[in-house]
Chains A and B, each alone.
Chain A
Amino acid sequence: MSHYSYIAFIPLLPLICFLILGLFGRKYFKTFSGTVGTFSTLISTLLSLYTAYQYFFIEGKVNGIFRNITALKYTWLQFSPNFSIEMGILLDPISVIMIVIVSFISLMVHIFSLGYMKGEERFATYYAFLSLFTFSMLGLVLSSNIFQIYIFWELVGVSSFLLIGYYYENPPAVAASKKAFIVTRFADLGFLIGILMLAFYSGTLDFNTLIERLTSTQSPEFIQISSATFLGVSMLTWGLVLVFIGGAGKSAMFPLHIWLPDAMEGPTPVSALIHAATMVVAGVFLVARLFPVFSIDFTAMQIVTWVGSFSALFAAVIACTQTDIKRVLAFSTISQIGFMMFSLGVSKYGGENGLGYTGSMFHLFTHAFFKSLLFLGAGAVIHFTHSNDIKELGGLRKMMPVTHISFLIACLAIAGIPPFSGFFSKEDILIAAYHSSKLIYGIAVCTSALTAFYMFRLYYSIFWSKDFHNHGPLHGEGTLSMKIPLIILGICTIFAGFVPVSSFVTSDGAPLESHVDLAFSAFPVLMAVTGILLATYLYKTQNNRPQVIASSLGNIYKTVYSKFYVDEIYLFITKKIIFNSIGRPAAWIDKNIVDGLMNFLATTTENISALIKGLQSGKVQNYALYFFGGIVGLAALFIYLLK
């Protein structure tokens, strides 16, 4: 066990960094803090890579199957002798691959921010928050216990909240941060109740034990959980669906996606790290983590599939109409996560049928690179132009060559053009979908064509189209620290597809043969190319064709542009129903009825005393009268009545 203890430092280093920067950063590390943060992340990254090497090539494999290693375990809360929350580190293919992704992307973002955030007043705070996020995210993926994952789940939520609200003087940023936190909190409620259900029936919180008990159909725990029903649905399904709601909230699946586009109010590197590459895939990770359990429950898997595929299509449609660079990217993130999600949903457990699982993890891997590259590229553009509206942008390809090339690479990757990384991962997903359901396959292909279209719409609008008129003084494309991550990520985006993920990450741990079927991939690629060509036709030069199409679609366009009014529906529910119909009456009742009752008691007492206080008139003769009256009364009583 002990020779794994270095793994604990992967999350702990950023935590230490957070504490140092958070407590002393403002005073002592004003400008130095970026270096401190970057350095600690660099060490984490190196340790992660070392761990990955150790796990994948030296220690992880037993009899050709990757096993789960519980590297560290420490009892955190012992509820009863057999039931405890433990803090531990679980190594398996997905957690290892995730720590590599998280620490690597985090490193890139740390480096990029050195230039991007330079001169910010709360520079140290920014790096402290980034470190906090890195710590929480690494802790999340390494969790060995379903409760531990919930703890880190909340922590990533709050670091996301803090970073979205980084520009706290800007009201939209504050609103967005609140929205992100509350929407995901709402989803976490489902997660928490799901945990309570699963944990109660399986009698454990430990992932390994839980999966073991709930997947063997003979175990008493399984029989109990699948026979207990609520509203005609088994407790297993309830538990899994509730857990999935938690995942869907974090991963911005429909209808809990509304927070993600608004979350773009945060600094752009943050969006690259949290809202594109790492935190938002936590939901996918969660489902993957519990995949053996999910895979035996048909209903839960159906829900995962349909939520995923619907979100993929839905977000892609909206992305075609948005004009804010970061919002387009946000919707594209939702769409891509939808891919990962339904890919898990269509997958089965074990062997070749588990291709969807592998594809999902593969896509998660490649998506992290190209999406963070897109965001960092967008960040560079925004940094350069101080605008993020594509209507105001155009013709930047000459002024920002590095950004331009890397952005193009990322666009090709996300569109699924070979040989860029996105192609390979999407390919696995499409094959899995094809074998599971033709309808899902159809949705997936349409979505990827749309993806190609809107990504190139974005690309052309920023780098081609009209010329860019700069009113202010022109400065360079960005500092070196901003270009280096773009270049590194660009290289990764090109080559990540050749990483044989399928021989490392599979649903049952046994390596899978990777295969590229040219005949199969021809059609999706053709669709993607069509999308690109359409975008070229419409957006490469400035023309009025897009407007013509938009106006011919009329209300449909308007609905899509308004994101299908989902935000308005939420607003209606919160403002009208929760605030006005629950909160306000509750406050009224408290003030007037509950408190009124107490005040009524007090005033009644007072009134009665006011009624009888007149007897104390202060007139001595009255008192004498009462006195003698009393004597007469008593005398009468004793003489006549109580003889």
Chain B
Amino acid sequence: MSEISITHILFVSTALFFIGMYGLFTRRNMITMLMAIELILNSVNINFVAFNKYLYPGKLDGVFFTIFIITIAAAEAALAIAIIINLYRSHHSIDVEDASELKY
């Protein structure tokens, strides 16, 4: 089995990143936006793991970082969903456009 070259993996992670970005910018539903953020985070995770594997095979720094990010993503998701629920309670909507009071 021939090795998958790093470019492929980077291609996947870049695609994942921009899909996430696209989702973040276009979706109104906050849950979807949250999912989009998860995509972005995961694209970063892939990068970390890939770079670790290809550039510094003897070290585990990248993997550790990935684990950190996963943890933080979980915490962030919990927090974000809590915010979304509260927002739903007060606004009866999880449309991000409806929650635009925090402006000038």
Q: Which residues of A contact B (CB under 8 A)?
A: 613-614, 616-621, 624-625, 628
Shortest beta-carbon distance from B64 to chain A in Å: 25
Provide the residues of chain A in CB contact with B97, threshold 8 Å.
Answer: 619
Q: Give the nearest-CB partner of B101 in chain A.
A: A618
A618 touching B103, Cβ below 8 Å: yes
Apart from A616-B104, A618-B101, A624-B25: 12 A-B pairs, beta carbons within 8 A: A613-B104, A617-B100, A618-B102, A619-B96, A619-B100, A619-B103, A620-B96, A620-B99, A620-B100, A621-B24, A625-B25, A628-B21
Closest to B28 in A: A621
Which of chain B's residues have a CB closer than 8 A to the CB of A625? 25
Which B residue's beta carbon lies closest to that of A624? Answer: B24
Complex CA–CA separation, A628 to B96 (angstroms): 18
Point out which of B33, B96, B103 has the most chain A C-beta atoms below 10 A from its C-beta.
B103
Chain B, residues 1-32, CB within 8 Å of chain A (1/0): the string is 00000000000000000000100110000000
Interface size of B by CB at 8 A reads: 12
Which residues in A have their C-beta under 8 angstroms from that of B24? 621, 624
Q: Tell me the minimal C-beta distance from B59 to chain A in angstroms.
A: 26
Cross-chain pairs A/B with CB under 8 angstroms, 15 sampled:
A614-B104, A616-B104, A618-B101, A618-B102, A618-B103, A618-B104, A619-B96, A619-B97, A619-B100, A619-B103, A620-B99, A620-B100, A621-B33, A621-B96, A628-B21
Look across to chain A and name the residue whose beta carbon is closest to the beta carbon of B37. A624
Name B residues whose Cβ lies closer than 8 Å to a Cβ of A. Answer: 21, 24-25, 33, 96-97, 99-104
A604 to B18, CA, bound (A): 42
Residues B96 and A616 in contact, CB atoms below 8 Å apart? no
* Residues of B with C-beta under 8 A to A616: 103-104
| Whole-angstrom CA separation of A625 from B33 in the bound complex | 13
Closest to A625 in B: B25
Q: Report Cα–Cα, A618/B96, bound state, in Å.
A: 10
Tell me, rounded to whole Å, the shortest Cβ–Cβ distance linking B88 to chain A: 16
> In the bound complex, what is the Cα–Cα distance between A624 and B100 (angstroms)?
14
> In the bound complex, what is the Cα–Cα distance between A625 and B24 (angstroms)?
9
In angstroms, Cα B54 to Cα A206, docked, is: 106
Q: Considering only CB atoms, which chain B residue lies closest to A610 in the complex?
A: B104
| Bound Cα distance from A265 to B100, whole angstroms | 75
Chain A, Cβ-Cβ closest to B24: A624
**For residue A614, which residue of chain B has the nearest CB?**
B104
* Minimal Cβ-Cβ distance residue in A for B36: A624
**Bound Cα distance A621, B100 (Å):** 10
* Interchain CA distance A621-B26 in the complex, whole Å: 8
How distant is the Cα of A617 from the Cα of B100 in the complex, in angstroms?
A: 7
